[in-house]
Structure 1
């Protein structure tokens, strides 16, 4: 990827309402994200009836319901997703969605999904990985809750079964992620160990960790966002609001430009400052024609449009060809 790919993660923050989903698309487009990503699943295929919610989900939602009951309320139909994809095309933002079951993979494939995002929870799900890989599409894989051996096995499965280009996202799946657990340097370990482009799926509060990931070389950033953090639902509280998302995207684009190409050179903007900020060899006092230049009658001062002091020892010992007044630029 020649540019940093920013995924605005809508996830399930539409609360099962396609109207809210479209508003999230509008917000992602307005922020300047490259893609807006949802989650496609059938609750009964994703979790069992007895599966409990994560602690963060319990804190953000009604504690009496099961995980399946919670997710059932957050489902969008396949028909809804067709509408959402069409709306994304109208708004000229890439539609992505993470599938969580085989039926959803088949459905998204029928929509022409260009890239598959593998979530952290599926990294040990070999049948799922085989199904994703068999599409031949590029894969962006989050690596939360995993170690290097598990990541390596998932990569082997993806490659063995025909996946396209693989990008690895460092990730911590706690919502929100404590700063001390972000461990951004692990992103560099993934790059060094496996040789793939890397990025960061950010569940920390705020935007600074995503920006730090860019400075460390992330090529993909994924960040949850919502229309309103106070809405009921598992992910709203740990998400950015639309204005924060826009700030993050703008900041990433600025950093992207600021990183440059790595070649140390005089930039176009600073070139005029060389004459102002650098120095030249000048007369420390009045000098008469024929006098020998020495450390007693020469000094170095701004501006830098005369003989550079880098030639100091070339000037010392030569003879003044004319008179020089104090502070006058020396000429040979």
Structure 2
């Protein structure tokens, strides 16, 4: 999906919802109140303050016949010309309001309703434009706004899919593709039951651009639901108080309500998170309550592992239950007492190696970018794909580097790397896939790696390794395997002479 850029901010999937506070007529004719609204919007969590740029004469004509009378809804009984006279924001205020918004750190947005308004806003240096639902069908106006080459956010109230496509094509025909659309119900206030918010997801598939909601309903339910459905932008009318009489007050949010809505939206975004499988950080402590393979009868070193001496039980410190059948009939490498978890290092020939090939590029990339792996690495930032591809290709070409994929059975569980430092000396680096950690795989891998080195490099005389400070699991592992430890300012170094 394309993203929209407003200044240094990107709007689209993967970004927080962009929240617009629509001032509209809520200034009720007072410049000072308009400035207060800007400050209150900032304090309430808005990203942007929006006004409207029109006069009664740019929207309609002064005519009193029945065509120009409103017969229902919030403004029933009003004449269009008189209504717009009450609601408009004087143009002589607008530069000052833009400066006030910029001073408090809010983006400033306006809706032009004719070409003269566009020209006025261009002279004022407006960074992006809003198109109202009722003006979406004014294709010459859309073309003129788009010709300025700036981002556009367009409401789509009442529009058929054909009308939406026509409007989008009109804008794109100018060469300007900086566009977002807002689902909108052009009723004031709108009934959530008549808003059909699932249209947001459909619009995203249809247009491939950011989609949001221009919300005229009361409360924050529709806004938070829209975010859950993927809305990238939210627009809500904003007032200091609904007691201040003006044409838009009855369906506008007060600062307290708006702030609560922003909180709900951000909580919703946090709860949505990202596609993720496996335990969350909070769940990790509960992994110990899973079942795993445990010793239920004492096993002596050299004895055979069988259904009589191991079982799948709680807690979860032993091998994964899927390994139960795999270890049956294998030899135990050390004495194991009843009640001890069966771990990989206690099973003879549990792990095997094969040399890495070009087809392992993505597998190793995914392991390298696991959260815990990055945390324990000397460079903690995620590794970009292109950087990894270059490193991996060079590693396969380098005669002094040997990359291995470590397996148990047919399942890859980690990577083992040997780098020749000098004649007969090799540095070890290894990583274990997240789900196999703390199950003895590290010790089994390093032990099996020593045997592999003896087989492939009979001239090897020494193994070395470096461990980042704070990585206590790896530190204890190397010490347990007989490596000599030396502490430096940033890491521990290890060395071991081959026997």
The interval holding the TM-score normalised by the smaller chain is 0.7 to 0.9
How far apart are residue 145 of structure 1 and its match?
Answer: 0.7
Give yes or no for the alignment of 1:52 onto 2:52. no
Distance 1:273 1:238, change over 3 A: same
Give yes or no for the alignment of 1:306 onto 2:318. yes
C-alpha distance in structure 2 between counterparts of 1:193 and 1:308, whole Å: 45
Specify the alignment match of 1:187 in structure 2.
200
Distance 1:301 1:235, change over 3 A: farther
C-alpha distance in structure 2 between counterparts of 1:26 and 1:157, whole Å: 36
How far apart are residue 263 of structure 1 and its match?
Answer: 5.1
SS of aligned partner of 2:70: coil
Structure of greater Rg? 2
Give yes or no for the alignment of 1:316 onto 2:328. yes
Specify the alignment match of 2:83 in structure 1.
70
Pairwise mapping of residues 1-332 of structure 1 onto structure 2 (< 5 A)?
1-2=10-11, 3=15, 4-48=17-61, 49-50=63-64, 51-53=68-70, 55-58=72-75, 63=77, 65-262=78-275, 264=277, 267=280, 269-270=281-282, 272-273=284-285, 275-284=287-296, 286-287=297-298, 289=300, 293-295=305-307, 298-318=310-330, 322=335, 324-325=337-338, 327-330=339-342, 332=346
Distance 1:260 1:138, change over 3 A: same
SS of aligned partner of 1:55: coil
How far apart are residue 287 of structure 1 and its match?
Answer: 4.0
C-alpha distance in structure 1 between counterparts of 2:266 and 2:340, whole Å: 47
How high is the TM-score relative to the length of structure 2?
A: 0.60
Distance 1:323 1:43, change over 3 A: closer
Q: Residues 58-96 of structure 1, C-alpha deviation per residue, up to 9 Å, x if partnerless?
A: 36xxx4x41221221222221111211111111111111
SS of aligned partner of 2:245: coil
How far apart are residue 250 of structure 1 and its match?
Answer: 2.6
C-alpha distance in structure 2 between counterparts of 1:287 and 1:145, whole Å: 75
Q: Which has the higher contact order (CA 8 A, sep 6+)?
A: 1
Does the Cα contact within 8 Å between 2:312 and 2:324 map onto a contact in 1? no
How far apart are residue 294 of structure 1 and its match?
Answer: 4.8
Structure 2 gaps of 5+ residues are 1-9, 347-499
How high is the TM-score relative to the length of structure 1?
A: 0.87
Structure 1 gaps of 5+ residues are none
SS of aligned partner of 1:90: helix
Specify the alignment match of 2:365 in structure 1.
none
Does the Cα contact within 8 Å between 2:292 and 2:315 map onto a contact in 1? yes
C-alpha distance in structure 2 between counterparts of 1:257 and 1:323, whole Å: 45
Does the Cα contact within 8 Å between 1:132 and 1:163 map onto a contact in 2? no
Does the Cα contact within 8 Å between 1:42 and 1:101 map onto a contact in 2? no
